[in-house]
Structures are given as C-alpha cells and as structure tokens.
Chains A and B, each alone.
Chain A
Amino acid sequence: MNIRDLELIDRLAAEYVVGTMSSRARRRFAALMRDDLRLRRAVHDWEHRLAGLNAGQELMMPPASSWHAIEAAIDAFEGNPVTSPQVASRWLKSALAASLALIVAVAALLYFPERGDRFDAPVYTSALAGSDGAVTFVVDAFDDSSTVRIRDLNVSPPGDGLIYQLWAVPPGGAAPQSLGLLGDGQVSRLELSESQYDALINATVLAISIEPAGGSPTGAPTGPIPFSGSLVGS
C-alpha cells in the first residue's frame, strides 16, 4: 500500500463521516468497511475529529413516548413479557402483537437456522403478525446482497388465484413500495432492485397484502393486509 492509497482511504472515510456520499456510495463504503480494518479505523478517526461539532447544537427532547417505545422494543428483543399495551410503536395497530412478534422472531431465528447464516447475518429483521398477534412470516434482509428471505411459519395459502405480496411501508405516511411476490415454499427469496432496497432499509414497517395472481395491478396494495410487523435493525 502506498501513500496514495492511504490518502484515498482517508478522503473516502472523511466523506463518509461528513455525509456527502450518495446513497449508493455510502452502502458500498459501509460494505467495504466491514471487512477492512484500515477503513474502520479511518472512519473512527474522522468520527472522533468531527464529533465536537455536535457540542454547539441546540438540545432537543423527544416525547416521553419515545422511551416507552424503545423499552418495549428491547423487552421484546430480550424476551421479557410486555406489561403495558401503550408502549408500542404507533405503526402497528396492536402493541402486544408487535412485541410478541419480535419475541417469536428471535425464536424463529434460532428455530430455523440455515447453513451459512452465521457468516451472513441479517441486518434487518421483521416478524409479521396477524391481528391475533401470532407471527406468520419472518423477513430477513441482508445488507450487502440486496436479498430478502421470507420464512413462512405455516401460514394458510391466500386462496385460489391469490398471492401474498410483500410491501415496505415508509415512515411519514408515504406510499408503500412492493418488494415482490411470495412463493409457495416455506422459504422465499426476493432479489431487490436498488430502489426496492432503499425502500426496505428506510421502512419502519413491512406488510403483506393479498393480491390477485401476478401481484397488485396498481402498484399499491389493493387487497386486505392481514400481516404486518416493525422492521428492526440488528
């Protein structure tokens, strides 16, 4: 490695930390960083150099509900019983369903180990539950391959001539984006386009609708949405 390489690493790390990289460049850089200690060190150095910029900013308090939502998510992650129904993310109709869904998601991850998962851990997970709180699908997203894996926990088929379709629901009430159609098997894999992957990593909720075979004709969910779940970064 010569001095020009070192300079390039330092410059890219600075751009990554300052935040001026495009979405695509950020993702590529983050993927490279995972396997390269020099990049990680360069990034940490720049984070340390620039963090003091935050010191002069106004302080802002979030609503108290933010703590409750965090606590509920951690309760669910740790497998603790949820004691209060008001602690949920507002994205889900049922707080209990969401929390149970996460508990079962963790259980499901243990229950359905797949060869190679230890080296290719999902970066986002969502356990989709029905209105009764029972988890129906576990969706895992993998950061560097733009692949989504959907595991069907013995869900009834959607009906003759119908199909399940997976949607990424962005925050702020914007329109859901389709991530694809689910296959018949117990495990489906979807290869996402760049725009679909962007939609996924920015979603707060994943949802599954029932659509005619071939998928929604309009680009938006047209049928019932029996299953949904929070998307949790791992």
Chain B
Amino acid sequence: MSENIDTMEMLLARVAEGDRLAFRHLYDRSVNVVFAVLLKILVRRDIAEDALQDVYVRVWKRAASYRTSRGNALTWLTSVARHRALDIRRSSWRETALPDDFTTTISELSADDDPMLAAEWGDQSRRLKACLDGLSSDQSGSIQLAYLRGYSHSEVAASVGAPIGTVKSWIRRGLSALKRCLSE
C-alpha cells in the first residue's frame, strides 16, 4: 500500500508525528544503506550494529528537526549515520587496529541497482559521478577513501602511498573542483 507510494520524506514527516508504522517503513527502506555507511567506516559489525541502534533512535527523536531544505531524507539519514560513525572512529580508534582487508558484504547489489533507492538519490548521484569523473584519479580516490571509509589524512596517505601534505592538497583541491562543477 502506501509503502510503495510514500517517499522517504513523507515517511519522515509521519515519523515526526510519532507514527511507528511509518518509522518501520522508513527503517526497511533505508537500513541497508545506513548500515553499509556505518560498516564501511566502523569495519567491525558489533560496533556498527550498536551505532545503527543509536542512529535510528536519534532519527526517531529528531525527525521533527528534518527539513526538506536539508536535502532528501536519505541524505539526512546517511549524514546522521556518518557523523556518528566518524565520531566513534576518530575518538576511539588507533589506526593500527584497523584491518585492511575489509570485504564483508552480504549483498552484491549497490544502491544504484535498487530502483527505489536510485529514485531516492535521483540526479544527486548522477551529477556527482559526472563531476568526480572530471577530477584526477588521485583527487577522486582520496575523497572517496575519506568519505566512504572514514579515513583520516594519514590513513589515506598510507593507503595510496603518498605524502600526507600531498593527500591534503588532493582532497582540498578536489572538493573545490567538485563544488564548482556541481554549481554549474
């Protein structure tokens, strides 16, 4: 029924009014993206599962603060998740404790392959991809390692075998170029 019709923004508006069914639908629709975001950054499933609980409890409590001016609902949800994951990772982790062979996936589908999720992202991801393609591979790769895996400058530097100052410059210039490209 309405699950197939309601956008995540509509679900979130109902969650803000305390609608538990809408919250369940929102969870079902978004959790595989949100958990992927957490797991990529936090690596360990047990820590990612705890963070997931925290993220959705926050979503329940803060749904009323969501505004469509902040982008679509999935952007908001993934932002809540990323900031929580980054707070955990930056505060508690020693870089040497991170496994470097993180490949755990239980689905070969990406969000792009899911028609409903693809509709949620819409032009946002297509335009971003086009702009990323315009960056150097060093810039694009460094930004993605930082954003998607939560790597610090020094972790990116170690991962790609470049000096940290160079990596900082790649990321900074790459982001400036992305901003210009996206505003065109």
Contacts and interface: CB of A to CB of B under 8 A. Distances in A.
A202 B88 contact: yes
Contacts of A202: 87-88, 91-92
The binding surface of chain B is classed by DSSP as helix
Contacts of B117: 55, 59
Interface residues of B, number: 81
B91 A58 contact: no
A234 B152 CA distance: 27
Interface stretch (A45-53, A109-117, A148-156, A183-191): A45-53
Contacts of B151: 19-20
B31 A18 contact: no
Contacts of B147: 17-19, 50, 53
A62 interface: yes
17 contacts: A18-B143, A50-B147, A52-B128, A53-B125, A54-B121, A55-B121, A56-B111, A58-B110, A59-B110, A59-B117, A66-B53, A67-B24, A73-B53, A74-B20, A172-B44, A174-B92, A202-B88
Q: Which 6 A-B pairs have the closest CB atoms?
A: A52-B125, A55-B125, A52-B128, A59-B32, A51-B75, A48-B71
Interface of B: 18, 20, 23-24, 27, 31-33, 35-37, 39-41, 44, 46-50, 52-54, 56-58, 60-61, 69-72, 74-76, 78-79, 82, 84, 86-88, 90-92, 104-112, 114, 117-118, 121, 124-129, 143-144, 146-148, 150-153, 156, 168, 171-172, 175, 178-179, 182
